[in-house]
Amino acid sequence: MKKNNIQMVDLMSQYSKIKNEIDRNIISSIESGRFVNGPIVKEFSENLSDYLNVKNVIPCANGTDALQIAFMALDLKPGDEIICPSWTYIATAEAAAILGIRVVFCDIDLDTFNTTADLIEPHITEYTKAIVPVHLYGQSCDMEPIIKLAENYNLKIIEDNAQAIGCKYSFPNGKIKFTGTLGHIGTTSFYPSKNLGCYGDGGAIFTDDNDLADRIRMIVNHGEKIKYHHEIIGCNSRLDSIQAEILNVKLNYLDEYNSNRQIMANNYNLAFKDIDEIKIPKIISSSEHVYHQYTLRVLNGKRDQVKNYLNDLGIPTMIYYPIPIHKQKPYRNNQILENTDILSKEVISIPIHTELENSNQDYIIDKVVKFFV
């Protein structure tokens, strides 16, 4: 019996509230006749670089490209190794694998879903060139120890920030910076359902290193600085002007959207914290959480039961991710990643989005609680 209309993400209700601004900008973009990389793309990248307080934001076609371009900018080659969690979206590993880079997977912490310096270090070899921490579900990895580790071994850090845009990380010395600006290069995705999403595909690369930024600007545009003069091998990865118009509007709402997500997550946390068979997401003291996903662990093998039960009540859920990357066919290896394997059987993400109505959230909470008591 489905009597409500609860969705995992509700981009249409969100759009209806900003429709006037969005529509006006899209039309003016079309009328300008500058469809790809128009002036609005530059304006958006400047606005985002002000917001993030990072020197360079280079827009590109999507978050997967952003990662691939980051690897290309660091000149990683076949035979080089990167270390990333297996517990992430496929793109993190795929963007390296496509360049012939060996992807070595590390485990994650069971309570935060993120990797740590201690879990990365054993995988470092003489071939390791870069570490790719992923700020999964919207929370920063504990980056200070990872940055120290990278310094000790002379490795680069590429942060996959596709799920955590707008999340702040605090260093022990009190300095606060946004995720994606903590390592050498940060990447993000503007896929519609991301915390800052456009109405199609989009992505961006961040760096404070101006030389790297120069290379990245060439790579996204066929390795050229001057038209038809190709200095390095690049690709075609640009942001459409229409998408930049949309992002420019939505950037103004990012903080509000993220704090809405935090309020809803707090409601869930309060409601579920004393249920023995559920583990709510742990938040480390050095990071915020912008809740791209609200993900619970369901213990005692009951996850799939909970999923079916909620589905029957009209409550959608998702499993991010049902199969970790080190068990996917093209990446399969004999690595044993204990926590990753446990999580693939325990996690469930429940609706959290900017338009979730209180009454619907109350309904979700009520049903989840009823399952366990």
Ligand X SMILES: *Cc1c(COP(=O)(O)O)cnc(C)c1O
**Which residues make up the interface to ligand X (CB under 6 A)?**
62-64, 88-89, 91-92, 134, 160, 162-163, 189, 191, 201, 203
**Bridge partner list, 36:** 240
- The least distance separating ligand X from the CB of residue 361, rounded to whole angstroms, comes to 23
Identify whether the C-beta of residue 337 lies closer than 8 Å to the C-beta of residue 107: yes
Q: How far is the CB of 235 from ligand X (least distance, A)?
A: 13
Measured from each CB, the residue nearest to ligand X is 63
Distance of alpha carbon 134 from alpha carbon 34, whole angstroms? 34
Write down the least CB distance from residue 250 to ligand X, Å. Answer: 15
**Which residue is listed with tokens 């690897």?**
71
Nearer to ligand X, 25 or 243 (CB): 243
40 vs 325, which CB is nearer to ligand X?
A: 325
Residue 14 or 267 having the CB closest to ligand X = 14
Minimum distance, C-beta of residue 33 to ligand X, in the bound complex (Å): 26
Residue 164 CB, nearest approach to ligand X (Å): 9
- Cβ closest to ligand X, residue 38 vs residue 63: 63
- Sequence-distant (6+) residues with CB within 8 A of 167 are 135, 138, 139, 140, 161, 178, 179, 258, 287, 288, 289, 290
Q: What are 156's strand-pairing partners?
A: 130
Q: Which is nearer to ligand X, 38 or 197 (CB)?
A: 197
Token duo for residue 252: 């103004």
Instruction: Name the minimum Å distance from CB 203 to ligand X.
Output: 5
Of 29 and 189, nearer to ligand X (C-beta) is 189
What count of other Cβ atoms lies within 10 Å of the Cβ of residue 53?
Answer: 11
| Residue number, 351 or 361, with CB nearest to ligand X | 351
In the complex, minimum distance from the CB of residue 91 to ligand X, in angstroms, rounded to a whole number: 4
